[in-house]
Chains A and B, each alone.
Chain A
């Protein structure tokens, strides 16, 4: 009796709310939204959940942190720093670490989550790139994703500087140097940003407000857009039998994904807390307060900025007899800092933004795509992706040159020469190797689809002929190997071709000329007719003796 009453009350309340908000329609549609399943689709989720962890732990930290560069004498619990002159920002960060209950754990949660956040974004971007998930209609969401990645770097860097410790202060010094290297306006910009000569007294409060307000707000807004577009476009799926460009095969949000995503959030949170509880991150008490005169050996930025630091370390001050820093008309041109510090990262970001349109232009493909590519089926794209990663890793490795040198007993000079060479040679080499591997895998797929799996069983016919039994794939498996479309080159237009047309045709050939044609139904038919004997031989395979006894082998072709 009472339960009926409760139900009635709930229904009345729900009805009241629904009449005014109209939520039931949205909830119904969204709850039945179908999402496909694959582990690689959860990389973006890792980024999302670490962001939530960052918001929660970051809020905790702001309760005790003072963004001020005013000087004070440290009198807290960490003995080796007592009595030293430090900034309030540094002092309060030390207090969070040593005098606030749970503070150090929260700091470590925040920092580990930040490193994981950027790592998950990079992994997610790599997945989206190699599977072609950026193609129409998702190009705009690729742009939103790139903006999110840049904002994540900005959030990381501004946060890294806030404790005002020696390590991050040296990082800021490098940034101020890069800003000063911008021709003509650089010194003005640096004075504007730092409120005078470096380090000044305003940079920490300025970075703080960017870190806790502007950047998280922009991140939140763009995450909203990113997820909104995801729901609007529907999630892409890997090709499989029954999955087409016009459907989505998977499970509904409610209850399956709601439970799974909720569970995964707690797994991510758990892993972050475990890392924070067990492993030190950014021990600012060891680095000491910032002061422009000292520096520690092994000073590096957090991992995602390593590539900029590495590019700076690789850049020579002289190219033969030509200095890379010189003065003309009273202006200093610091190309030794400008090229690696600003131009290289700038070009990388531009290439990232432009890629979906470049590929569309070269393939002439303006259709919508909702099925993912298997990376091997797009050898050039996959090759470019790996080349870009190698480029990034070579630069990041260059930033760790001092640690690599001491730990592997290598001369730091030799390492610099090797990495300078790899800076130019590594990416093309990686591209070539990856492309060849992709083409090889495609050839193997083609072979598998046409002739089946080699079973390793050798059969001798009555005539003494030997062949290996090939087991045909089942149709579900085979579908995955034959479903892709053939790549098309953009031909030179008939009649007069402009320079741009020629460039387009040449680049299109670079992208799509080397390819393995997908298996056509006719080819499959022909292969099966050819392999028929083997197919029949298989049917009698339950008893191996029966094969040779029947003597049917005489009419079969041999294996491939």
Chain B
């Protein structure tokens, strides 16, 4: 302390103090700033492997530089989330030129998908794969209730009130959502695949996206309180059941009673 005090008039003292102050402020800034929701930066090796997978499996339609062709859109700027969703649900690579891509068995390993995502992500900034905390379902009832309300207001008009799916124009459709992972629900909202609009983080926050996914998980996994759900399709399947099940059974009984008489 004495030594420090003795040197306080040293010509370099101002410089040292300024440097130390900068270090403290800078350190505090780094410590307090929220980190970006980007998974660990991809290595060059991953990007390279992803590029090779891309050239072998995707470039035919999306172009050698992912610039897009007549057969497929550009992937520059779609982000890692888009790749993770499209390839991770089996929608890509496309199996046939239909009105819309169907989900089907996934064609690549998780590692390969992340390599392709890394390649597409470094082409231009775009939506990243959600942080690990948003890839889980929550079982907080309050948040499920919020998810229910948000889903009813924003999603049910296409996906049906319990996510059973619905029709769109010319053979396109909003798919069934009852068995979709939290990550993929999140990514779909973030990237707006195919006919779906984008619900960005300002519109529906990451927590709310997780609430919606959790509500879908809840209705998809909880037993239906009333018994068999008939596909959760509402009055049409109920009406069909009344005619095929109810009336037929009762007419059968009536025939039986009539036969007993004679």
Contacts and interface: CB of A to CB of B under 8 A. Distances in A.
Nearest to B142: A83
B246 A112 contact: yes
A115 to B, nearest CB: 4
Interface string B233-260: 1111111111101110111011101110
Contacts of A467: none
B170 interface: yes
Nearest to A268: B250
B99 A411 contact: yes
Contact of B257 (A264, A291, A401): A264
B162 interface: yes
Residue of B170, B171, B235, B243 contacting most chain A CB atoms (<10 Å): B235
Interface in A224-265: 251, 256, 260, 263-264
A205 to B, nearest CB: 24
Nearest to A272: B246
Contacts of B245: 275, 279
A79 B141 contact: yes
B46 interface: no
A256 B257 CA distance: 11
B215 interface: yes
A456 interface: no
Interface in B83-101: 99
B234 A300 contact: yes
A263 B166 CA distance: 44
B261 interface: yes
Interface stretch (A11-19, A35-43, A173-181, A182-190): A35-43
A401 B167 contact: yes
A303 B228 contact: no
Interface string A101-144: 00010001000100110011001000000000000000000000
A298 B233 contact: yes
Contact of B144 (A80, A256, A264, A267): A80
B185 to A, nearest CB: 16
Interface in A275-332: 275, 277-283, 285-288, 291, 293-304, 306
A295 to B, nearest CB: 5
Contact of B228 (A256, A280, A302): A280
A400 B262 CA distance: 43
Given A82-B142, A277-B227, A295 B261 contact: no
A449 interface: no
Nearest to B252: A39
A409 interface: yes
A481 interface: no
B234 A256 contact: no
A153 to B, nearest CB: 13
B165 interface: yes
A84 interface: yes
B233 A405 contact: no
A281 B245 CA distance: 14
A271 B247 CA distance: 10
Interface in A38-77: 38-40, 42-43, 45-46
B250 A300 contact: no
Contacts of A400: 236
A24 to B, nearest CB: 28
B165 A406 contact: yes
B189 to A, nearest CB: 17
A297 B158 contact: yes
B219 A42 contact: no
A302 B238 contact: yes
Contacts of A119: 242-243, 246-247
B259 to A, nearest CB: 8
B166 A298 contact: yes
B257 A299 contact: no
- For the residues of B in contact with A, the DSSP-based class is helix
A84 B151 CA distance: 13
A98 interface: yes
Contact of B227 (A80, A123, A279): A279
A97 B227 CA distance: 12
A219 interface: no
Nearest to A82: B145
Nearest to A78: B225
A283 B233 CA distance: 10
B261 A264 contact: no
Nearest to B141: A79
B242 A112 contact: yes
Contacts of A405: 167, 171, 173
B229 interface: yes
Contacts of B236: 298, 300, 303, 306, 399-400, 403
B226 interface: yes
Contacts of B253: 264, 267-268, 271
Given A279-B227, A405-B173, A298 B238 contact: no
B164 interface: yes
A1 to B, nearest CB: 41
A285 B145 CA distance: 12
B174 interface: yes
Contacts of A167: 161, 234-235
A412 interface: yes
B112 interface: no
Contacts of A294: 152-153, 156-157
Contact of B246 (A116, A277, A286, A288): A116
B225 A281 contact: no
B207 interface: no
Contacts of B180: none
Among A37, A123, A291, A303, the one with the most B-chain Cβ atoms within 10 Å of its Cβ is A303
B224 interface: yes
Given A37-B258, A288-B148, A298-B164, 20 more contacts: A39-B255, A45-B254, A46-B250, A79-B218, A80-B215, A104-B225, A112-B242, A115-B239, A119-B247, A120-B247, A167-B234, A275-B241, A279-B245, A280-B227, A282-B238, A288-B161, A297-B166, A302-B238, A413-B169, A413-B170
8 contacts: A108-B226, A115-B238, A283-B232, A288-B149, A294-B153, A295-B156, A306-B236, A412-B169
Chain A to chain B: the 6 pairs with minimum beta-carbon distance, closest first: A303-B239, A297-B166, A280-B226, A402-B167, A42-B254, A296-B161
